[in-house]
Amino acid sequence: MDVDDDARTIGRRVRQFHYSRGKSLRVLAGLAGMSKSKLDRIERGEVALDSRSDTVALANALRISPSELTRLPLPAPCNGDTDAAVEAVRLALMAVSRKRPGGHVVGVQELRARARAVESSDYRRRGELLPGLIRDLHTSIMAGHDVAELQKLAVLVYAQTTRGWLYVVGAPLDLRWEAATLAQRAAEELDEPTMLGVAAWGAVNEMVAAGAFELAQDELDTVAVPITSPESTQLASMLSLSWSLVAAADKRLGDVEAALDHAAELNRSGYDRDRVAYTSTMSAGSFFIWKAASYSTGGMF
């Protein structure tokens, strides 16, 4: 897609959100700190929305995340069943955050099997399975058996499974952040570099969605994942992809290329189809999606 097509695509999205909010063009432009004529030209696709500050300001005015104005895939709209599932997950996360999970004590092997079952299910079924898994997982942790293994599972369930599902079904950022925060809490209890890296990866994705690019960069700067196994190499590749997106938002285009090249090299050296540890492990197809997202964010098309 060339620059003009990209501008028209983003312009249509701006107009769509603009109309849905019921604000006049003048009011929206004022909230975003730009002229009415400039906003009109953005909506028409005559001017590209290629400034990070303009993107964040306009997203804030529309009360959406900046990523919803970029070429990253938009979350699917919720339906009635999904809304109910999101609320059930919200209540489970709230209960866990107050250490009142209200679940059942279950063995680690069964919980691992249930977590795998969630990952292999379609999104409707995931919404049905997640609340019970969340509650039982933390009830079992509080029972004091196999705590380290259960904490590790909790990091993955929150940073990947729960947060990722919430994003896909269009749940609000604050709820996705709650899942990322619980992943961080479990990782800190473990104090293990790889799990801290997984938690950081989940949090960085939500920081980028919120437009908190400096915070995301600070988070990435503190992550140190030892590349000692296929699993940790896969994680390092995922973090490098996140780095590319943050660098693009800051217009550090040289760093974007370096991060993408590093991610590709890590993926080539560390990929083992029998030891895929993370659901977001980079495939050839997902690499090009990330590359397109980084290039679009940095205005490189």
Instruction: Label residue 112 by pLDDT band (50, 70, 90).
Output: very high
Question: Does the residue 152 lie in any domain?
Answer: no
Residue-range definition of the domain harbouring residue 60: 3-64
Is the per-residue pLDDT at 167 higher than 70? yes
Residue 267 lies in a domain: no
Number of domains present in the structure of the chain: 1
**Number of residues written out for the chain:** 301
How confident is the model at residue 142, as a pLDDT?
97
CATH number at residue 35: 1.10.260.40
Per-residue pLDDT tens for 245-281?
Answer: 888 877 787 888 888 888 888 877 765 555 445 554 4
Is residue 129 assigned to a domain? Answer: no
Residue 80 inside a domain? The answer is no
Question: What pLDDT, on a 0 to 100 scale, did the predictor assign at position 230?
Answer: 81
Q: Is residue 26 part of a domain?
A: yes
Q: Check residue 256 and give its pLDDT.
A: 83
172: in domain: no
Classify residue 209: in a domain, yes or no: no
Among 134, 136, 124, smallest CA distance to 159 is for: 134
**Residue 155 lies inside a defined structural domain of this protein:** no
